[in-house]
Amino acid sequence: MPILVLMRRRLILGSALAVLTMGQARGDILPKSEQPGTFVVPLGQEGMHRELIPENIHIERCYYDQEVVAPGTTFGFDINGSGFDEAFYKIISVDPDALDVTVKNLRLVTANQIHGQIEVGPEATTQYLHPMIVIRGLPVFRAPEPFGVVRPGEVLDMMLTSIDETGQWGHFRVITNLDARLYSKFRLEPTNPLLEVSNIKTQFPFYVDGVVMIGQGLKHGRYGMVAYMGKREIFRQDPLVDVVKPTVGKTGSIEKVEATEKAHRPGDTLELIIMGSAFLPNVVSTLGIRVIPKDMGLSTFTYLSPGRIQATLHIPADAPVGVYSVNVLNSGKVLQEQPNVFGIVPPNWLALVKLAAPLSPGKSGQLLIVGRDITPEFVKTLQLRTDSDGLKVSNLRFRDPTSVVADISVAADMAPGDYIIHVSTNDKPVKLPRGGIIQITP
């Protein structure tokens, strides 16, 4: 019987399991300063001339009003960071690094936000783009997240978006650019007829969704999907599916292991979710968990559904700060090696800043700093500042071991937009792994 899982997403047929090749991304569990083996250059910023960025200026991210566009489209985008001023704004340009794609109308919105427009011309080609910020003709920052351009009648990407818990079937999405006329010539074919494609639905112009299922008789091997426009092949995703033997019991397969909460303290109860396909209730009796680098003893397993098994264990009181990986065992044999599943964080660990409720110019509200094992004594060492005179933060105070609260007021003449709250302790900056940006709404 076929089974399907997301990546590694898999399909299983009786004694066979198909693995869908999709990568995984993760956010940092701990700040870089608390992780061993850190990189000097952030991932994706290789080759960037970061030394040209003025002192006290930090560029954090770019985001877009639209994620996928066609040639002939103009749309908005924003740059987030801190310390932005007129001097910085005037020395930068943005290079999309693509044919017939330009940036225009850059303007300084706040000390933490620069807004602009991206104009995609008629000659732009189908691709993902990571715009670069340029100073003195040299790139200093590459946008970590891309946007996509897709020409009419072409395909940008093809991916699996979800899989049924039983592994029998899953949904896929094709990112393309079609109208009714082009769609009449468009078709999808698997590289093997036993990989069945059905329930095709369109969201013109950019999305074609459907269902993929492994049919009876499909042998072990790798299989893909091909998009055609008439008789002409326009895109091939191969492999999309890798059929292998099941690893959990007679039918099941593990996709990945996730912690329900990634940041923990010694003495916590750690809850893990083993995700996969076609699990049977009786497999929990043979499973085990090994935490690396420090073993944390026996685990208790609970069967939740054909696609989820819960494992719980106690984190020892002497567990050191760090990032931990997890191996899933079956009768002592390693089935799955999952890196960077959870972290042990230090006391007074701060995760993020957020508003208690939406806030607009001329209004006041509360600001929350969320963390773990926060003490009143530590809160006395904290300082908060902003890059804008119209944003005032005051009366910082301890609320409970997981949060700090402060009052925040917004001047009536402040522009709506993105603002960074800088947190420091004893005048040393604190890097918040889950973000320090708040948004002032109109």
Tens digit of each residue's pLDDT (9 = 90 or more) over 336-383: 999 999 999 999 999 999 999 999 999 999 999 999 999 999 999 999
CA distances from 21 to 237, 240, 241, 334, 360 (A): 10, 6, 7, 21, 44
**What's the CATH fold of domain 4-21+152-244?**
Immunoglobulin-like (2.60.40)
Instruction: Assess whether the region 4-21+152-244 and the region 349-440 belong to the same CATH fold.
Output: yes
| pLDDT at residue 144 greater than cutoff 50 | yes
Q: Model confidence at 28, in pLDDT bands (50, 70, 90)?
A: low
* Of the candidate ranges 67-81, 102-116, 242-256, 305-319, the one whose mean pLDDT is the lowest: 242-256
Q: Model confidence at 73, in pLDDT bands (50, 70, 90)?
A: very high
Written as one letter, the residue type at 186 is: F
CA distance 27 to 61: 14
What does pTM read for this prediction? Answer: 0.82
| pLDDT at residue 231 greater than cutoff 50 | yes
Mean pLDDT on 184-212: 96
Q: Model confidence at 243, in pLDDT bands (50, 70, 90)?
A: confident
| pLDDT at residue 94 greater than cutoff 60 | yes
| pLDDT at residue 85 greater than cutoff 90 | yes
Residue-level pLDDT at 24: 34
Q: Which sign, positive or negative, has the C-alpha torsion 190, 195, 199, 203?
A: negative
What number of CA atoms fall less than 13 Å from residue 35's CA on the CB side? 17
Q: Could you tell me which residues are beta bridge partners of residue 422?
A: 385
CATH number of 253-344: 2.60.40.1930
CATH number of 349-440: 2.60.40.10
Determine the longest span between alpha carbons in the chain, in angstroms: 71
Enter the DSSP assignment of 284. G
Class of 57-144 in CATH: mainly beta
Residue-level pLDDT at 38: 41
Written as one letter, the residue type at 327 is: N
| pLDDT at residue 32 greater than cutoff 90 | no
CA distance 194 to 172: 17
Residue-level pLDDT at 148: 98
Residue-level pLDDT at 40: 55
Residue-level pLDDT at 18: 39
Q: Model confidence at 4, in pLDDT bands (50, 70, 90)?
A: low
| pLDDT at residue 190 greater than cutoff 50 | yes
Q: Model confidence at 412, in pLDDT bands (50, 70, 90)?
A: very high
3-state secondary structure of 438: strand
pLDDT tens by residue, 39-60: 456 778 999 999 999 998 999 9
Q: Model confidence at 22, in pLDDT bands (50, 70, 90)?
A: very low
Phi first, then psi: give them for residue 34, nearest 5 degrees: -105, 5
Which has the closest alpha carbon to 110: 420, 353, 430?
Answer: 420
- 406 burial (CB, 10 Å; 0-12 / 13-18 / 19+) is buried
| pLDDT at residue 197 greater than cutoff 90 | yes
3-state secondary structure of 86: helix
Mean pLDDT on 262-276: 96
CA distance 363 to 385: 18
- Domain boundaries of the chain, sorted by first residue: 4-21+152-244, 57-144, 253-344, 349-440
Mean pLDDT on 208-222: 88
